[in-house]
């Protein structure tokens, strides 16, 4: 092997794209939510947890009697492990979009997270959406 070859990138599978705040992605959705997308809100790296990406969903259909028509169509803040996001996203839909008003959800999460009272999702995103629908969370 020549010295040149040790510095060349290996041919084959390309590196995954870097996530950036303001991107909109398609992802592996639940059946019936194929038009749902997610937006990258914030990206943070923690020594003990790795990269946590804060996302919002639009176009979901989460059954919940506390919402008009019994359906929640947007999730404004959900913290997820970068690996879970990488395993769930399919294609970049838009490189730059406006972000929803997620700050209140983030601030509440961050305060609880710092007190070790909240975490982040490491499961496929469609499973996280199902988890929300199954009522394992509470709307205040």
Per-residue pLDDT band at 18 (split at 50, 70, 90): confident
Per-residue pLDDT band at 84 (split at 50, 70, 90): very high
Flag whether pLDDT at 3 surpasses 60.
no
Q: State whether residue 70 is helix, strand or coil.
A: helix
Task: Identify the pLDDT of residue 4.
Answer: 46
């Amino acid at each position: 092997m020549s010295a040149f070859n040790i510095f060349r990138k290996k041919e084959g599978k390309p590196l995954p794209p870097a996530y950036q705040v303001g991107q909109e992605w398609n992802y592996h959705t639940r059946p019936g939510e194929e038009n749902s997308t997610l937006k990258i809100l914030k990206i943070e790296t923690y020594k003990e947890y790795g990269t946590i990406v804060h996302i919002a969903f639009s176009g979901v259909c989460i059954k919940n009697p506390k919402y008009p028509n019994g359906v929640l169509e947007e999730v404004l803040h959900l913290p997820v492990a970068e690996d879970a996001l990488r395993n769930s996203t399919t294609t970049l839909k838009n490189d730059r979009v406006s972000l929803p008003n997620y700050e209140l959800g983030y601030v509440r999460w961050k305060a609880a997270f710092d007190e070790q009272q909240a975490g982040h999702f490491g499961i496929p995103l469609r499973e996280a959406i199902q988890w929300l629908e199954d009522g394992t969370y509470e709307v205040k």
